[in-house]
Amino acid sequence: MADGGGFGSKLGIIKLASWAAGYSVPTALIPFLNETLSVAFDRIPDDSLVGTASRGPSAQGGLAVAGETTHNLDYNNFDTLFECLMGTAVGRTFTISDDDLPKWPSVEIDKVISRHRFYSGKIVKATFSCRAGGVAQAKFGWLIRKRDLSATAFPAISTPGPRNLVLFKHAISKIWIGDLADALTSGDAIGFDSYEITFDRQMVSDDRDSNSPTEILEPIPGDWRVGEVKLTLPRYNTGTSVLADWKDNDTALQLQIQHVAGAESITMQFPNLRITDGFNVPVEGPGPITLEGTLQASPSQAGNPMYVGNEMRVTFT
């Protein structure tokens, strides 16, 4: 009897034409670290009284398919996922759309013993993070209409594009933060040792109706979307003390995080931020005083020196 091993797994994606679309063969192979896409059914109890303390068997109710995929980020293989998260793509620049996110990616995962087909889906949230000495990672959160199991061989997709990883060392002197008085320059570089970017579209995920009593209706926004950036700094000094001043003064800020490796790069820009938590400069012992804080992302205002648009823009080259 053959056993499934994670090293033999593959993840393929394709964009579908609608939420109700059927299965389509994936066209791109995406490197991934792990995934938690799972199927769960509501259980409907039978509490009828029939003269015994035993409850009757429950019935299967509505279907929920959701989870996350985690990836080491590289410069070449993630355009489709960024488009399906953010909504608008112009070349390899991705911005946040103000619609119901009409992007419907399908995922097929080869789990060696069988193929798990998840379709159609929406990428409704994501986290991007990087720490000193490490690789940037991306975690995408999915809501999916259904899942099928198949014994058919995984599609013959070519190998992923070049896997030049996005490394922390590629961001040397490339994390810039400052007020909105003028455009950011290398003089606005501050030495961070980690960042974590969170974006959540706050999609409604559990609605059903008589036309779709088992599968969820297409997710749409149910609350204000959330964009946050968490930054940590290994040293409190005259260069980083300005963060506490910006917090006290509720200063509007702009931030650019860029990784550059030769001709390849990823640039993440935030035109309008406020510090909402942290940068309190706690003394925790005899060692270096460090800083940690959270900034809330908002759309830019007219005349913003970075760009005019929504909370975040991502560009690959």
Residue 51 in domain: no
At residue 33, does pLDDT exceed 60? Answer: yes
Domain with 215 in it: 8-41+61-151+162-316
Q: Where are the alpha helices (DSSP H) in the chain?
A: 79-86, 242-248
Tally of domains in the chain:
1
Q: pTM to 2 decimals? A: 0.93
Q: Is there a contact between 14 and 25 (Cβ–Cβ < 8 Å)?
A: yes
241/131: higher pLDDT? 131
Residue 172 in domain: yes
Beta bridge partners of 10: 110
Q: Is there a contact between 208 and 62 (Cβ–Cβ < 8 Å)?
A: yes
What does residue 213 show for φ and ψ, rounded to 5 degrees? -75, -20
At residue 204, does pLDDT exceed 90? Answer: no
Beta bridge partners of 180: none
Hey, what are 183's tokens?
A: 């455009």
Percent of the chain with pLDDT over 70: 99
Q: Amino acid identity of 222? A: G
pLDDT in tens, 298-316: 999 888 899 989 999 999 9
At residue 1, does pLDDT exceed 60? Answer: no
- pLDDT at position 8 is 83
- pLDDT at position 187 is 92
At residue 77, does pLDDT exceed 90? Answer: yes
As a whole number of angstroms, the longest Cα–Cα distance in the chain is 80
Residue 176 in domain: yes
What does residue 290 show for φ and ψ, rounded to 5 degrees? -110, 170
Residue 48 in domain: no
Count other C-beta atoms under 10 Å from residue 301's C-beta.
11
Residue 47 in domain: no
- Mean pLDDT of all residues belonging to the chain: 92
- pLDDT at position 160 is 82
pLDDT in tens, 253-288: 999 999 999 999 999 999 999 999 988 888 888 988
Residue 56 in domain: no
- Mean pLDDT on 83-101: 95
Count other C-beta atoms under 10 Å from residue 280's C-beta.
10
d(CA 117, CA 160): 19
Residue 88 in domain: yes
Among 129, 16, 5, 15, residue whose Cα is nearest residue 73: 129
- pLDDT at position 235 is 87
- Mean pLDDT on 168-191: 91
pLDDT in tens, 99-138: 999 999 999 999 888 999 999 999 999 999 999 999 999 9
Burial class (CB in 10 A: 0-12, 13-18, 19+), 202: middle
Residue 72 in domain: yes
Beta bridge partners of 67: 142
At residue 89, does pLDDT exceed 60? Answer: yes
- pLDDT at position 264 is 96
